[in-house]
Amino acid sequence: MITLSSIDKIFNENTPQEFKALKNINLEIKNGETIILSGVSGSGKSTLLSIIASLDRPSNGMVNVNGELVSKLPDYHASLYRSKEIGFIFQHFNLLESLTVEDNILAPLIPLNIDILEAKKMVNKAMKKAHIEHKASQTIRALSGGEKQRCAIARALVREPNIIICDEPTANLDKENSLKFIEILHQLNLENKTIIVATHDSLFQNLDFNSRLIYMEDGVIL
């Protein structure tokens, strides 16, 4: 369970540029839920994702993830929390273009210092889930946009996180690839992963699997 209590985020606090991007956010997300966070650009979606992922701290309030107060974690522990619990998928795929699909997906396993055969098994499993195993030895720059996003999904899944956070994941995809992306989310939902997607893509408005739509406007949940 992810619990957000009375979250404010104030940028440039106590300066003339002070800006309140999140205002008294209260939200409970159950394990296994799929949340679609929608709202126009600037409404605070990415800021909220950063706070859930402990990439940034709230100005006020608390974030609790499965009993751990992640909003108070020191940086080092915040990065451990992220790498263990969270898989990220972004609009820009943030892949290493000159490396192969396999090597990009392997990269998050390097700090774990595990046996290479075990690592390769984990990479293969993640590639299968993201339907990209047929491109394993291609370099990223040889892939289409949809394939790059599927590689990014596999990289996000390789450490088997329980929480998948996606920020505008289909913004650079055509409709066909967006629907394929949504189908992969559906599978992850069936595996009981917790999924949080910030998006203003209307394809997410009526998914054919269990999900909860949340609207944001000017830093507030409506």
> Which position among 8, 10, 11, 107 is part of the footprint of ligand ADP (CB under 6 A)?
11
> Which position among 6, 13, 30, 42 is part of the footprint of ligand ADP (CB under 6 A)?
42
Closest CA relative to residue 22, chosen from 64, 50, 2 = 50
Q: Is 41 in the site for ligand ADP (CB under 6 A)?
A: yes
Question: Residue 111 Cβ, how far from ligand ADP at the closest point, in Å?
Answer: 27
Three-state secondary structure call for residue 192: coil
Q: Is 43 in the site for Mg ion (CB under 5 A)?
A: no
Q: Is 221 in the site for ligand ADP (CB under 6 A)?
A: no
> Which position among 19, 66, 183, 215 is part of the footprint of ligand ADP (CB under 6 A)?
19
Q: Is 43 in the site for ligand ADP (CB under 6 A)?
A: yes
CA distance 15 to 18: 5
Helical (H) or strand (E) element with 19: strand 19-29
Where helices occur in the chain by DSSP H, the ranges are: 45-52, 75-85, 101-106, 116-129, 145-157, 175-190
- How many other CB atoms are found less than 10 A from the CB of residue 179? 12
Q: Which residues contact 83 (CB under 8 A, 6 or more apart)?
A: 108, 111, 159
Q: Is 81 in the site for ligand ADP (CB under 6 A)?
A: no
> Which position among 46, 71, 104, 194 is part of the footprint of Mg ion (CB under 5 A)?
46
81 binds, among Mg ion, ligand ADP, none (CB under 5 to 8 A by kind): none
What is the contact surface with ligand ADP in residues (CB under 6 A)? 11-12, 19, 21, 39, 41-47, 198
What is the contact surface with Mg ion in residues (CB under 5 A)? 45-46
